[in-house]
Every structure is written in structure tokens, then in C-alpha cells.
């Protein structure tokens, strides 16, 4: 179809959905019943009930984090257990881990895992239990771990997905004893001795690192009596002590100080030593990074500090994939720093789609003028990293040590010169800076200022931003501005900036039927998202591109006010794409019941605007799509692809990691069948790329 501006609109998503359904129907062995999943260890169908979700997550973590091969795991392994030293019964280990490459016998058993169903806590903060409080639960693990028929079984884990308890078995002439541990070592390494001989750091897997972050925050909030936001900042102080320690130990070749010896977290003197080391590190952090001031102090108890160090010390945060770190960080920040001025933090799927369509390059200046906690900025960094990995032929593989160093340097350089954010909320600005620092080692450029009042306003960072980020100089702007009629902008000094643009009273000409600005009238208030459209266009250079999240009303309401804004957009921009999102997009992750679209624009040059005024603009196609599924429902539960008969479709997924054996680097690959998530957004991104191959962007090339 064609609108009255000669803009052809296209929609090309449906065919792909049909093809996927037909492909699923053709593969009978890929169908799963509603209550079935594919077991990570055996690759067989199993019932999804009881403790199974927890067991699958732990099995995956054993492989990806601890370096345990799935060939050395067995589920439901029977172990004879003595009762009262006389009677015997058989109990099963939910996951048993054996010596590498050995037969799965009692003599070769090295580790035992007990998994329980995850408690239903939703997003609520759960108080973390101590070993003493979990004593009865741990009796089952001790029974499995302490039998004479399993002399090489040293380590045990009990978990319900939220609580994690680790035991180390010690056998002497006086019998078997169990020591509490904060964690396991990676495969086949000892946890005994001093720091120099402790287990090597391990790269975090997204689900487990998110759980670790959440456990730490919950401990501080639930056990220290701090409000959620205060607990969040206290936890971040410790995180940056950890990041700083990793960087300094690598740079100087000195021992790490962010560690906990096996017994330290469990006695008063040991906790004091841990707290002393961490506080010394944070003192150095404050001297190193201007982001922190003397007002930032670690005030939590030695017990809480010891808990956090026990949770995080064995992770290699610098070497952990930035996706995993970003997911873990957002898990905390999204629930603790949600604003009250219409700041709806953008769900990850929508963020990724916007970045994929705008496709920022390494020389592009990228800005989010309402950055919140920095979701679009983090996604830009992930996008660039994936480009580099594709160029190097290592897509899907974690970076090697050499790649890690090179990529870290490139990302840091990009952040310092090309990546910018701004927000009205100082706490969100700080959260963004900390997020970028966690991923790249540098704080970047997140400005505390009012983007609608810029280059004016009263907030302090506007002065620096005038030099670093003048209007008309940005290559790509992507943002999710605050929405809402209840937070309208009424400041006349701000509205004055937009009097010749969107902030005009619009009315319909009775003779022509066209919407026109009403002369001699002034608007008294505007919703912020309306003003952000004009501000976004003004901030990019001619030919610069924009991605903005907008409520559907601006794009579809028939009233003259919204139609006038659409007219202003068409006069000043090429419309590249419009993607309507389902209501589920924001309901679960942002707790907002609102219909939105992603609008993609390209600012016209002066010559292009003049040509349009003279009627010389040629028709051009616009990509349009409606996403019906985003991978989850209103409650956040996953939604799967299904065959026409209703059965769930399975898709192959490859897990890849770099490993070293005797100093030789190799690649380990495991392909598993997993339930296919029903998410239209990646399909839309691919369709947009295909659309652009057939229809180049309108307007002048870069």
C-alpha cells in the first residue's frame, strides 16, 4: 500500500513462520510432549517435573563452568548407604561425577550432587540460609558422600537452584568428616593450600552467574536489613573490588587478594581477614576510578562480605563473556533501580532487535539520550564484539586469552570515544557507568543531564556534553524515552526549543482535510516521548539513523495532534522501518501493560527536504513487521514453537568452549536438541537484512 506521502509499506514475516512450522512437522522425532525436555546428560527425553529444571541447570554449569565432561556425569546413580552402621539401603545421587574417562563405578566417583525443586519465590528477595539452618537437608548429601565404597568422592553439592551448599569430605583414622565450602574447584584441581595453589578462576555461565549475583544481593538485603537499593550499591562496591583485583593481579603478576581460603568464611577470624582484604581493595578502587568518592563506603558485616567473596572469588569476571555479565548485572539493576518517571527499562529482545537493524560500526558515534541502566549501550558493545569474532572465524567460541585482551582494548577505546549515554536520573547514570566499566574496564561517557533541555538545563554534566556531544553530530541514536501523560513537560523554557517542530497545536484544515499547525497558538504541555522524537532527529547528523521505542498511539491515533507529529517526522526523515511489539514485551520485564513499536528513521539532508517540498521525492519502500511472539508470555514463562498438531518443536544447539590439555588449546563441542523458543524478533532482524539487500536505504549514502 502507499500513503499520501508516497511511502510504500511492505510486510514480509509470515512466510518464514509457515516454513518453520512445516519443517517442524516434517521431523517427527523432534516433537516433545508438553511435560518433556531433553536431558543435558543423556540427550534423551525426560519428564519435566520435580527437581528436573534445577538438575539440568547444574549439569550445564558443571560442563561450562567447572570443565566436567558430560561423558563423566551420570544421573540417578545408585549409592549403597549404611544406616546405623548395620542396615543398608540404596540412595541415588541426582548427578554423579566420575574421574575423567573412567568407568562409572563407586570407586571412580569423585563428586555428588543433590538437586531439589526450586522454591516458588518469583522476583521476591529470598533470605539466604546458613549451613546450620540447612543441617537436615545436608544429611542426605552426607549419606551419599561419606560411604566407604566411594573412597575418592571428595566433593558434594546440595542445591534447590537458589540455595547452594558445598561440602568437602575428609577421611582420617577417626572416620569421615565434612567441611563446609563456599564453592567447588574446577575439574581435577585441589582447593587446599594457600592462594597460590588454589583452583584457577572459571569463566561464568550466564544462568549461574545471574544466580550468584542474585544470591549475593539477596544475602545483603535479607540478612543485613538493608533496603534493596542500598544492598545493590553495597554489592556493586564489592564487585568492583573483585574486578580491580583481577586486573591488577594480571597486570603486575602478583597474587590475587579477592579470595577466601576454604575455612575462612566459616569462622570469625577468617571473615575478618576476608573483610580486611576487600576493604583495602576498595580503597584502591576509589583512588583509581573517579566514578567513586570517599562517600562510597563498604558498611556491610564481615559475614556478608565473606559470603559474597565465597560466591564470586572463583569467577574470572574479566574472562567471562560480556553477555553473561550483562545478563547478571541487569538481573539486579532492573528490579532495584526502576524509575518513577515513566522509565520502562527495555526488554533484551527489543534492545537486540534495534541494535541489529541499526547495525552500529566501530567508527560510529552512538548515543542513548535516555539511557536508563545502559541496555542499548551494552547491546552495542556485544554487537561489535560479535562482528569481530565473525571476522576472526570464532563465532560461538569464548575468547581465548589473546582475543580477550585484544577485544577488551578495542571495546575500551570505542567506549571512550564513540559510545555515549545520558539520563535525568543520577542513580541510573551511575548504574550505566558501572555497567560499562564491568564490561570494558572503563567508565565511558554517561552524562547526568536533561536531554530535552540540552544544551541548556541545570544539571552539571551538560557542560561537558556540549563539547563531547553537540547536536547534529551523532551517527546512530537509539533510545526508549520515558512515556506518559502523567509526566508531561510543562516547562516553557524547554517547550520553546520545540515550538517550530512537534510542540505546535495541530488542527485539521476543513477544506483540504490535511493537518496543519495552528497559527497564533501555543501548547502548554507535551508528553516527553513526543519531544524526544524531535530531539533524536536534531541530535543525529544528516544521514544519521534513529531507533526509538514509542507507544503505538503516536503512530496510529487519528487525532490531529499525533497526525501532526507523524507529518513532522515524514518532512524531516526517511522512515526505514516500523516493528510493532506484542504487549507481552513489556508486561513481564517492565511491569507495564502498553502497546509499543520500534520506529527506525534516517535524518534527511537539507537538499532532500527541499526536494520533498518541491514534490521531487520519489516513492520508497518501508519495512514493516508485526511481532506476535517474543519468546515468553505475560508471566515471563517461555513460549515454544509447536507443530500443527500442537507438539513442541526441538532445534539443535551447539555448546562450544576452548579448553587446554597439557598446555595444548583445543575446542570441545556438544550439540544438544532443545525446545525451540517462539520468538519473532530474530526472524524480523533477518528479514530486515534481506529487505535491505533488495532495497537499499533511501537518502544519501554514508
- Whether the predicted pLDDT of 262 surpasses 90: no
Residues β-bridged to residue 661: 664
CA atoms within 13 A on the CB side of 456: 9
Per-residue b/e over 401-424, b at no fewer than 16 CB within 10 Å? eebbeebbeebbebbeebbbbbbb
Contact 90, 72 (CB under 8 A): no
Q: What angle do CA 169, 170, 175 make, to 5 degrees?
A: 110
Contact 170, 155 (CB under 8 A): no
Q: What is the pLDDT of residue 601?
A: 98
CA distance 225 to 220: 7
Residue 515 three-state SS: strand
Q: Which pLDDT band holds residue 590 (cuts at 50, 70, 90)?
A: low
Q: What is the DSSP string of 263-327?
A: TGGGSHHHHHHHHHHHHHHHHHHHHH-TT--TT----S-HHHHHHHHHHHTTB-TTTS-HHHHHH
Q: Which pLDDT band holds residue 659 (cuts at 50, 70, 90)?
A: low
Per-domain boundaries in the chain: 37-181, 207-312, 337-485+504-636+682-694
CA distance 428 to 446: 9
CA distance 207 to 579: 29
Contact 447, 465 (CB under 8 A): yes
Contact 90, 682 (CB under 8 A): no
Q: Burial, 528: exposed, middle or buried (Cβ in 10 Å; 0-12, 13-18, 19+)?
A: buried
* Summary count for the chain: helices (H), strands (E): 20, 22
Q: Burial, 613: exposed, middle or buried (Cβ in 10 Å; 0-12, 13-18, 19+)?
A: exposed
Mean pLDDT of 43-53: 90
- Whether the predicted pLDDT of 452 surpasses 50: yes
Q: Which pLDDT band holds residue 199 (cuts at 50, 70, 90)?
A: very low
Axis-axis angle for helices 426-440, 375-392 (nearest 10): 20
Per cent of the chain over pLDDT 90 is: 46
CA distance 271 to 266: 7
Q: What is the pLDDT of residue 596?
A: 92
Q: Which pLDDT band holds residue 309 (cuts at 50, 70, 90)?
A: very high
Q: What is the pLDDT of residue 332?
A: 74
Beta strands in 383-539 (DSSP E): 419-423, 445-448, 474-479, 506-508, 515-517
Axis-axis angle for helices 52-64, 206-224 (nearest 10): 110
Chain mean pLDDT for the chain: 85
- Whether the predicted pLDDT of 192 surpasses 50: no
Q: In degrees rounded to 5, what are phi and psi of residue 599?
A: -110, 130
Contact 409, 460 (CB under 8 A): no
Residue 373 C-alpha cell reads as 541502566
Contact 247, 240 (CB under 8 A): no
HEC profile of 567-626: HHHHHHEEEEEEEEECCHHHHHHHCCCCCEEEEEEEECCHHHHHHHHCCCCCCEEEEEEE
- Whether the predicted pLDDT of 654 surpasses 50: yes
CA distance 369 to 477: 8
Q: Burial, 100: exposed, middle or buried (Cβ in 10 Å; 0-12, 13-18, 19+)?
A: middle
Q: What is the pLDDT of residue 325?
A: 85
CA distance 481 to 539: 14
CA distance 695 to 575: 13
Dihedral sign, Cα of residue 633, residue 637, residue 641, residue 642: negative
Beta strands in 443-538 (DSSP E): 445-448, 474-479, 506-508, 515-517
Contact 621, 695 (CB under 8 A): yes
Question: Picking from 228-237, 342-351, 674-683, which range would have the lowest pLDDT averaged per residue?
Answer: 342-351
Residue of higher predicted confidence among 330 and 505: 505
Residue of higher predicted confidence among 316 and 669: 316
Axis-axis angle for helices 426-440, 228-252 (nearest 10): 30
Question: What does CATH list as the number for 337-485+504-636+682-694?
Answer: 3.40.50.150
- Whether the predicted pLDDT of 660 surpasses 80: no
- Whether the predicted pLDDT of 80 surpasses 70: yes
Residue whose entry in the numeric block shows the C-alpha cell 543423556: 42
- Whether the predicted pLDDT of 131 surpasses 90: no
Q: Which pLDDT band holds residue 348 (cuts at 50, 70, 90)?
A: confident
Q: Which pLDDT band holds residue 103 (cuts at 50, 70, 90)?
A: very high
Residues 6+ apart with CB under 8 A from 442: 412, 415, 416, 436
HEC profile of 44-83: CEEECCCCHHHHHHHHHHHHHCCCCCHHHEEEEEEEEEEE
Residue of higher predicted confidence among 617 and 241: 241
Dihedral sign, Cα of residue 394, residue 322, residue 469, residue 422: positive
Q: Which pLDDT band holds residue 58 (cuts at 50, 70, 90)?
A: very high
Q: What is the pLDDT of residue 164?
A: 92
**CA 210 to chain CA mean position, Å:** 9
Residues belonging to the chain: 702
R_g over Cα of the chain: 28
Amino acid at each position: 500500500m502507499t500513503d499520501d506521502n508516497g511511502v510504500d509499506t511492505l510486510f514480509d514475516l509470515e512466510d518464514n513462520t509457515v516454513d518453520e512450522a512445516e519443517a517442524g512437522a516434517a521431523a517427527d522425532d523432534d516433537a516433545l510432549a508438553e511435560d518433556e525436555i531433553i536431558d543435558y546428560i543423556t540427550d534423551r527425553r525426560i519428564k519435566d517435573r520435580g527437581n528436573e529444571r534445577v538438575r539440568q541447570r547444574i549439569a550445564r554449569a558443571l560442563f561450562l563452568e567447572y570443565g566436567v565432561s558430560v561423558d563423566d556425569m551420570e544421573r540417578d546413580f545408585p549409592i549403597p548407604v549404611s544406616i546405623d552402621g548395620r542396615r543398608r539401603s540404596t540412595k541415588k545421587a541426582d548427578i554423579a561425577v566420575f574421574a575423567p574417562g573412567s568407568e562409572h563405578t563407586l570407586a571412580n566417583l569423585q563428586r555428588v550432587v543433590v538437586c531439589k525443586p526450586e522454591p516458588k519465590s518469583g522476583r521476591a528477595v529470598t533470605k539466604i540460609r546458613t549451613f546450620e539452618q540447612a543441617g537436615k537437608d545436608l544429611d542426605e548429601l552426607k549419606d551419599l558422600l561419606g560411604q566407604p565404597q566411594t573412597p575418592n568422592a571428595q566433593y558434594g553439592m546440595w542445591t534447590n537452584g537458589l540455595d547452594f551448599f558445598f561440602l568437602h569430605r575428609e577421611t582420617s583414622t577417626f572416620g569421615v568428616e565434612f567441611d563446609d565450602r563456599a564453592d567447588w574447584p574446577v575439574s581435577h584441581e585441589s582447593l587446599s593450600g594457600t592462594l597460590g595453589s588454589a583452583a584457577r578462576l572459571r569463566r561464568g555461565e550466564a544462568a549461574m552467574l545471574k544466580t550468584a549475583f542474585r544470591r549475593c544481593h539477596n544475602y545483603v538485603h535479607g540478612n543485613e536489613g538493608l533496603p534493596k537499593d542500598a544492598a545493590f550499591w553495597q554489592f556493586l562496591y564489592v564487585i568492583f573490588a573483585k574486578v580491580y583485583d583481577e586486573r591488577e593481579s594480571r597486570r603486575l603478576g602478583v597474587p590475587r587478594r579477592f579470595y577466601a581460603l576454604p575455612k575462612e568464611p566459616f569462622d570469625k577470624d577468617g571473615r575478618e581477614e576476608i573483610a580486611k582484604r576487600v576493604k583495602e581493595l576498595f580503597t584502591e578502587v576509589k583512588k583509581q576510578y573517579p566514578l567513586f568518592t570517599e562517600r562510597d563506603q563498604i558498611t556491610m558485616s564481615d559475614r556478608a562480605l565473606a559470603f559474597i567473596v565465597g560466591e564470586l572469588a572463583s569467577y574470572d569476571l574479566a574472562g567471562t563473556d560480556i553477555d553473561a555479565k550483562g545478563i547478571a548485572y541487569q538481573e539486579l539493576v532492573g528490579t532495584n533501580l526502576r524509575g518513577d518517571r515513566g522509565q520502562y527499562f527495555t526488554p533484551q529482545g527489543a534492545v537486540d532487535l534495534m541494535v541489529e537493524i541499526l547495525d552500529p560500526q566501530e567508527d560510529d558515534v552512538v548515543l542513548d539520550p535516555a539511557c536508563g541502566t545502559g541496555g542499548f549501550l551494552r547491546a552495542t558493545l556485544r554487537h561489535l564484539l560479535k562482528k569481530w569474532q565473525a571476522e576472526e572465524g570464532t563465532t560461538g567460541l569464548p575468547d581465548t586469552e589473546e582475543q580477550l585482551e585484544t577485544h577488551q582494548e578495542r571495546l575500551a577505546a570505542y567506549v571512550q570515544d564513540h559510545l555515549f549515554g545520558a539520563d535525568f536520573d543520577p542513580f541510573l547514570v551511575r548504574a550505566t557507568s558501572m555497567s560499562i566499566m564491568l564490561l570494558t574496564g572503563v567508565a565511558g561517557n554517561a552524562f547526568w543531564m536533561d536531554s530535552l533541555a540540552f544544551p541548556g538545563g541545570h544539571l552539571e554534566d551538560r557542560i561537558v556534553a556540549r563539547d563531547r556531544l553537540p547536536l547534529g553530530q551523532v551517527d546512530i541514536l537509539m533510545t526508549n524515552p520515558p512515556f506518559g501523560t502523567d509526566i508531561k513537560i510543562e516547562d516553557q523554557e524547554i517547550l520553546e526549543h520545540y515550538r517550530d517542530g512537534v510542540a505546535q497545536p495541530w488542527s485539521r484544515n476543513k477544506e483540504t482535510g490535511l493537518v496543519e499547525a495552528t497559527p497564533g497558538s501555543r501548547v502548554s504541555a507535551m508528553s516527553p516521548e513526543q519531544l524526544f522524537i524531535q530531539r533524536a532527529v536534531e541530535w543525529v547528523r544528516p544521514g544519521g539513523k534513529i531507533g526509538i521505542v514509542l507507544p503505538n498511539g503516536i503512530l496510529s491515533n487519528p487525532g490531529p495532534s499525533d497526525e501532526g507529529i507523524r507529518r513532522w517526522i515524514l518532512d524531516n526523515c526517511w522512515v526505514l522501518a516500523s516493528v510493532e511489539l506484542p504487549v507481552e514485551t513489556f508486561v513481564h520485564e517492565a511491569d507495564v501493560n502498553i502497546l509499543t513499536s520500534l520506529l527506525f528513521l534516517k535524518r534527511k539532508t537539507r537538499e532532500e527536504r527541499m526536494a520533498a517540498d518541491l514534490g521531487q521525492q520519489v516513492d520508497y519502500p518501508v519495512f514493516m513487521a508485526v511481532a506476535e511472539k517474543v519468546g515468553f508470555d505475560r508471566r515471563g514463562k517461555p513460549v515454544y514453537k509447536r507443530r500443527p498438531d500442537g507438539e513442541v518443536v526441538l532445534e539443535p544447539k551447539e555448546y562450544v568452549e576452548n579448553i587446554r590439555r597439557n598446555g595444548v588449546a583445543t575446542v570441545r563441542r556438544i550439540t544438544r536438541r532443545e525446545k525451540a523458543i517462539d520468538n519473532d524478533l530474530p526472524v524480523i532482524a533477518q528479514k530486515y537484512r534481506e529487505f535491505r539487500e533488495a532495497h537499499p536505504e533511501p537518502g544519501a549514502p554514508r
